[in-house]
Structure 1
Amino acid sequence: MDLKQKLLVIIGPTAVGKTKLSIELAHRFNGEIISGDSMQIYKGMDIGTAKIKAEEMEGIPHHLIDIRNPDESFSVAEFQELVREKVREISQRGKLPMIVGGTGLYIQSVIYDYQFSDAPGDETYRLQLEERAKEIGNVALHQELTEIDPDSARQIHPNNVRRVIRALEIVHCTGRTMSDTQKTQKPDLLYQTALVGLTMDREMLYQRINARVRLMMDEGLLSEVEQLYQSGLRDCQSIQAIGYKEIYDFLNGMVTLDTAIENLKQNSRRYAKRQLTWFRNKMDVQWFDMMDTSDFSKKITEISRFVEGKLQIKSNT
């Protein structure tokens, strides 16, 4: 890994304004954007994931959007591999790679030297677990992981059987959980990284989230989810995403549409709170308050100066 590769990372909770800022900075620093959102990889899931529209890109190349079908699983390790390859490609073109998103674990796995494969393995035990998964089902096997390593189980979807098995295998081989193994790692930053975090007053953020949910409904979120539902999509990693599972509850007759929308707002607010907690605890972030963006150009200039100093580069302005 070339440690001199420069990387700009923009993180923050949902609805804080990452997309708009990222486009401005991409223009200033000749950047290309890699999505750091674990759900924007899925085709046909546009409105609920707040996927950037083509006209909003303003000609800036975007990567890792629409690369999987909704019935496919996707792991942190896969994301790590794909993004690191994109960082290399973009750097080789003389552009600045930018990761923009809110999925903390995924972004953390890319920029720090975490190793998912270092722990010892046991092929015989792994094959036994694969057979066991076929016999008792994915959910039951995931429940076994929940009982011995709840932290890892929370991060792994039941249908991501390969990773469930890997977590069980690590406990079997080492006597320690995968989450404990990760906690003891003291990873280094792999890149010359400018880590920009966007934040704002929680009440204002929650108002923006509620407004975004209303806009999503106006833009056709119900129709988008109905298409996935009518295609037969069930029990997949993708539809566990906020914005989809709530509407699925409505389509399954479990709640009214109004209740589903309220649940979507509440779950989005809770997710934003978890995102902020994660970023503050896990990453060395330079935070910028986005409360007052009446003079957006001033905010852009402030953040640009930080990026210039951190990456030792000059902006185009």
Structure 2
Amino acid sequence: MKYNLITVLGPTAAGKTRLAAQLAHRFNGEIISADSRQVYRSLNIGTGKDLDDYIVNGKQIKYHLIDVVEPTEEFNLYSFNRMFYRAYEEIVRNNKIPFLAGGTPLYIHSILKGYKLGKADFSRYEELNKLTDEDLKSLLLKVSPKLHNTTDLSNRDRMIKAIIVKNAAEEPAVIKIDSLVIGIKYERNEIKKRITERLKKRLKEGMIEEAKELIKSGLTYEKLEFFGLEYKYLSLYLKGELNYNDMFQKLNSAIHNFAKRQMTWYRKMEREGIEIFWLDGADVEKATEIIKEYYFNE
């Protein structure tokens, strides 16, 4: 078989999750999420987890890489790659078809192009160096619970390097991925309409209240803004720096621009030789035909 993964991509609000779940239901699959914010617990409405989308005909489709870290924890491309390959191997071991679905193009690109992130990735040093001593100790004890050498817990430089080396030692071998890639696209006006309607729906569902709860739980406004898009503008609104109407208009515009950037990424992938089978909308029947023809017949 030529392919060993099926990827579903497209701009935000295109219906990727629902389509991937429907396809996973038809083809006995499980889904690995490629979303840089849905990995965080408690970031639900703003990240659009829409967990009901994973229930198809009363059956729960298993998903991976959603709700795997706390909002206070670090998560990056390196973390995603390690978790992706672990989930991928588990799915294949269970004789299921792995589906990759999501809207973070860098994460998708890293899998489709087989990024080699290196063994001891010391480019993470500066990132880790921003953490407090207590956070570093906690992280080090998490990856190395049998650590007895207390000097490793009293020296920042040693702790950071130990975390990097330990993570690298546990990094799985990169598997050669050949993915069948299915893309969802809409006319520009249609995707803008979908984005605006979805934003209104999320606000009605309690997106502002969710942001308030995150602040109440101890998350700083700065950290909330770090999560971008919805959380950035909700933070500005809650601080009183934007009124409701301005928050809505600026956020809506920012999401439209994000969708444009996603499509720019996907066009770049095509220029690099990644073939994307485009659907006009989240057409499950057309996607099913593509999978039958290309995934199983080559």
Please tell me the TM-score bracket, short chain as reference: 0.7 to 0.9
Hey, what's the Cα distance between the residues in 1 that align with 2:101 and 2:225? 20
Alignment of 1:196-207 (within 5 A): 196-207=182-193
In structure 1, the partner of 2:202 is 216
Displaced runs of 4 or more, over 4 A: 118-122, 129-135
Question: How far did 1:286 drift?
Answer: 2.0
Taking a change above 3 Å as real, the CA distance of residues 236 and 313 of structure 1, as seen in their structure-2 partners, is farther
Match of 1:305 among 261, 267, 289: 289
In structure 2, the partner of 1:277 is 264
Hey, what's the Cα distance between the residues in 2 that align with 1:11 and 1:191? 16
Taking a change above 3 Å as real, the CA distance of residues 269 and 121 of structure 1, as seen in their structure-2 partners, is closer
In structure 2, the partner of 1:288 is 278
Q: Does structure 1 retain, via aligned residues, the 8 Å contact 2:46–2:231?
A: yes
Give aligned-pair identity as a percent.
30
Deviations 1:234-284 (A, max 9, x none): 233774231111000011111112211111111110000000000110252
**Unaligned ranges ≥5, structure 1:** 136-161, 167-187, 294-298
In structure 2, the partner of 1:243 is 230
TM-score (norm 2): 0.76
Question: How far did 1:44 drift?
Answer: 0.8
Hey, what's the Cα distance between the residues in 2 that align with 1:48 and 1:78? 22
In structure 1, the partner of 2:49 is 51
SS at match of 1:90: helix
In structure 1, the partner of 2:9 is 11
Hey, what's the Cα distance between the residues in 2 that align with 1:311 and 1:271? 30
Is 1:69 matched with 2:53? no
Question: How far did 1:197 drift?
Answer: 0.9
Q: Please say which of residues 230-239 and 4-13 is displaced more in the overlay.
A: 230-239
Hey, what's the Cα distance between the residues in 2 that align with 1:25 and 1:111? 20
Q: Does structure 2 retain, via aligned residues, the 8 Å contact 1:71–1:237?
A: no
Question: How far did 1:6 drift?
Answer: 1.3
Q: Does structure 1 retain, via aligned residues, the 8 Å contact 2:279–2:286?
A: no
**Unaligned ranges ≥5, structure 2:** 133-159, 165-173
In structure 2, the partner of 1:182 is none
Taking a change above 3 Å as real, the CA distance of residues 24 and 267 of structure 1, as seen in their structure-2 partners, is same
Q: Does structure 1 retain, via aligned residues, the 8 Å contact 2:34–2:101?
A: yes
Is 1:29 matched with 2:15? no
One-letter code aligned to 1:279: Y
In structure 2, the partner of 1:141 is none
Is 1:228 matched with 2:218? no
Q: Does structure 2 retain, via aligned residues, the 8 Å contact 1:23–1:57?
A: yes
Taking a change above 3 Å as real, the CA distance of residues 131 and 222 of structure 1, as seen in their structure-2 partners, is closer
Taking a change above 3 Å as real, the CA distance of residues 5 and 226 of structure 1, as seen in their structure-2 partners, is same
Question: How far did 1:233 drift?
Answer: 1.1
Deviations 1:83-140 (A, max 9, x none): 1111111011110010110101111112322112279969xxx6xx6898689xxxxx
Hey, what's the Cα distance between the residues in 1 that align with 2:72 and 2:111? 24
In structure 1, the partner of 2:40 is 42
Hey, what's the Cα distance between the residues in 2 that align with 1:132 and 1:303? 45
Hey, what's the Cα distance between the residues in 2 that align with 1:42 and 1:275? 21
